[in-house]
Structure 1
Amino acid sequence: MGKLTVLKVKSAKPGTGKDGKPCKATFQDGDGLALVCAPTGAKNWVLRVQVGKRRRDIGLGAVDLDGLGRESFAGENRLADTSLMLRKTLTLPEAREKAAALRKLAKAGIDPATERDRERVKIPTFAEAVTEAHKALGRGWADRTAASFKASLEDHAVPKLGKLPVDAIGSAEVIGALAPIWNDKPVMARKVRSRIAQVLAFAKARGWRKDALPDARELRSGLSKQARGGNFAAMPFAEVPDFVAGELGKDLTASRAAMLFTLLTAARSGEVRQATWEQIDLKAGTWTRPAAIMKMNEGHVVTLSAAAVALLERFTPKDLRAGLIFVGLRGGALSDMSLTKALRTAGRSESVHGFRSAFRDWAAELMPTIPAMVAEMALAHRVGTATEQAYLRSDLRDMRRAMMDAWGRFAAPSLSGVADNVGELMASA
């Protein structure tokens, strides 16, 4: 039986400090339950429990002064309509009941404060959690990474998972979302799987779900085995000159020009689609790419071959060279699929990204006198160990320019102003 009575609760008052001013007073009921009377006269129930090795004081709610004096079972009638854990004011019997329930949870190793608040937490849907995770986590990402995170989930996860509460998503639901793209788009599917896990981990950290994340072994068991190898299909470099010649004989649409510029610069398609005339110096033959459009989030200068410069000059009249270089039909940047479509229209099955592999193979086989790191730098890859990077202060621009000029002459001799393909660099390069 508790030490407090309804009368004691009603008559409880703040204490008096040494300075004569009101101060907090605590009245023990037993088993950790106490009535705390603030200096203002406000009365609240507090439970002291041992959670693991920590002693914690957990607020249960304010004293229900209107309910005091009623029979002990009165609280039970009112709790039929409102959960005990949700009540913000409690009579003495209700405070004891709530305290007893939370003590049992603490003894079972469950955080009583989390359980107290559980029913107050609104569990968002997966779609809502994606938005919140993107907003919170995206602050530390590059704009491109943040945009890709949200777009991939909205395209491939939200249609299946979007309306489900985030605490109701397990392995079966994740497998159902991934199955349609698991074999057709293996690279994207793996990214989406990782990003779904990020959202669920974020939800767990926010208290929106208690269960562990879907087990990786269960996911593997529920999905078919993907084809081995994740390399992008690449055009054999020996076929590049004929391909470019054929494309230059057609109308130079934005998507076709962007595809050819991607090939001539060995750039990533995303960098090309976001390229602006302000980044280009035709006279110096450079394309200065800001960190914001780069995969490694580091700025990079591309040396433009004569062929690349000629392509840009042919594509855009001098008085229109401002803003995006390759503009889509709706006025914004081209989509990634627009370059792929141009390649498919040309009757090729490879990927646009594969042009980088074609360039790298060409450099390895036909440019043996040029160090491998030159081609890697041209691809905007990091080269060497951390120590080597610390001592390598040059970006090898002169050697890269010689290599890119040779690539331009090989791939597009008509744009380079030469009659034949060139397969090797001058010894002076």
Structure 2
Amino acid sequence: MPMIHRLKALSVERLATLGMYPDGAGLYLQIARGGSKSWIYRYRLNAREQEMGLGPLHTVSLAEAREAALEARKLKLKGIDPIEAKRSAAMERRIDAARAMTFDGAVTAYLKTRAGAWGNAKHSAQWESTLQTYASPHFGSVSIDRVDTALVVKALEPIWATKTETASRLRGRIENVLDWAAVSGFRTGDNPARWKGHLDKILPAKAAVAKVEHHDALPFREIGAFMADLKGQPGQAARALEFTSD
């Protein structure tokens, strides 16, 4: 059985001569020209000798280097190349970072894709203005993949009864942006801004809260002239209005 844990923390700090100092089980302290010290894990896999850097001594302690070497040995035992696994993990982190996008960033990207289709700068400006005014304060800086139902409702609820038409347009625009983000790979799962079968279970129907706009009443002195004009109008609608006015 190979000896392990040969090195001591104090001796590691004191060593200064160029060379490779074994701790055991493939872990080495490497001292390079100039005195820099770093950890190396040496292993053999598929008839190939490999060296895997585990970090400099000033950042990675002896205990941490031993733990990293242990994890590498476990991978090797499963037939997994520790270096390849490390590269894959780094690549995944870079991909995740590239995918990271805030809701505001998604709005900007989405509007760019729609610019040619709309062909109307005013339409795009209205979209952006609505989202900036009512959605951005609540989740504009939130990662697009973390926008959920609670956040969408938080933006819609304050204006759902007072500015119903605006709120309805806002909901649809949020839904479109989130759909684009899903198709583009920036988020997964159901769209939290969809209406049917989702928000319709939380918010009242637009017709139930929209303010009814009544026409001004016809001044009494103008009724005679109106009725005379109505009699001259063709169609059943005019006759029905005559009937209700009697």
Selected match of 1:167 from 145, 154, 177: 145
2:159 touches 2:167 (CA, 8 Å); kept in 1?
A: yes
The residue number in structure 1 matching 2:62 is none
Write the distance in 2 (CA, Å) between the matches of 1:138 and 1:367: 50
The residue number in structure 1 matching 2:104 is 127
Note the C-alpha offset of 1:191: 0.7
The residue number in structure 1 matching 2:58 is none
Write the distance in 1 (CA, Å) between the matches of 2:231 and 2:143: 57
Output one character per residue of 1:129-166: Cα deviation in whole Å (capped at 9) or x when no partner.
11221222132113332222111111111111111111
Write the letter of the residue equivalent to 1:223. L
The residue number in structure 1 matching 2:244 is none
- Residues 33-52 of structure 1: pairs in structure 2 closer than 5 A: none
Write the distance in 1 (CA, Å) between the matches of 2:116 and 2:180: 14
**Which stretches in structure 1 are left out of the alignment for 5+ residues?**
1-67, 81-91, 102-112, 243-361, 373-429
The residue number in structure 2 matching 1:238 is 218
1:121 touches 1:208 (CA, 8 Å); kept in 2?
A: no
The residue number in structure 2 matching 1:182 is 160
The residue number in structure 1 matching 2:11 is none
Selected match of 1:71 from 35, 39, 43: 43
Residues 225 and 207 of structure 1, relative CA distance in 2, 3 Å threshold: same
1:126 touches 1:163 (CA, 8 Å); kept in 2?
A: yes
- Residues 26-175 of structure 1: pairs in structure 2 closer than 5 A: 70-71=42-43, 75=52, 77=54, 93-95=82-84, 118-141=95-118, 142-175=120-153
Write the distance in 2 (CA, Å) between the matches of 1:183 and 1:167: 28
Note the C-alpha offset of 1:235: 2.4
- Give the 4+ runs in structure 1 shifted more than 6 A: 96-99
**Which stretches in structure 2 are left out of the alignment for 5+ residues?**
1-39, 45-49, 56-67, 69-80, 238-246
**Identity %, equivalent residues:** 26
Residues 144 and 74 of structure 1, relative CA distance in 2, 3 Å threshold: same
The residue number in structure 1 matching 2:233 is 368
1:124 touches 1:165 (CA, 8 Å); kept in 2?
A: yes
Output one character per residue of 1:100-135: Cα deviation in whole Å (capped at 9) or x when no partner.
x9xxxxxxxxxxx9x686324141211121122122
Write the distance in 1 (CA, Å) between the matches of 2:42 and 2:189: 41
Residues 75 and 365 of structure 1, relative CA distance in 2, 3 Å threshold: farther
2:161 touches 2:210 (CA, 8 Å); kept in 1?
A: no
Write the distance in 2 (CA, Å) between the matches of 1:144 and 1:181: 23
Write the letter of the residue equivalent to 1:94. I
Output one character per residue of 1:233-284: Cα deviation in whole Å (capped at 9) or x when no partner.
1423625x99xxxxxxxxxxxxxxxxxxxxxxxxxxxxxxxxxxxxxxxxxx
Q: Which has the higher helix share?
A: 2
TM-score calculated relative to the size of structure 2: 0.51
1:200 touches 1:213 (CA, 8 Å); kept in 2?
A: yes
**1:368 aligns to what SS in structure 2?**
coil
The residue number in structure 1 matching 2:12 is none
Write the letter of the residue equivalent to 2:98. V
Write the letter of the residue equivalent to 1:221. K
Aligned residues: 159
Write the distance in 2 (CA, Å) between the matches of 1:371 and 1:139: 46
Q: RMSD of the TM alignment (CA)?
A: 4.0
2:41 touches 2:54 (CA, 8 Å); kept in 1?
A: no
Residues 231 and 118 of structure 1, relative CA distance in 2, 3 Å threshold: same
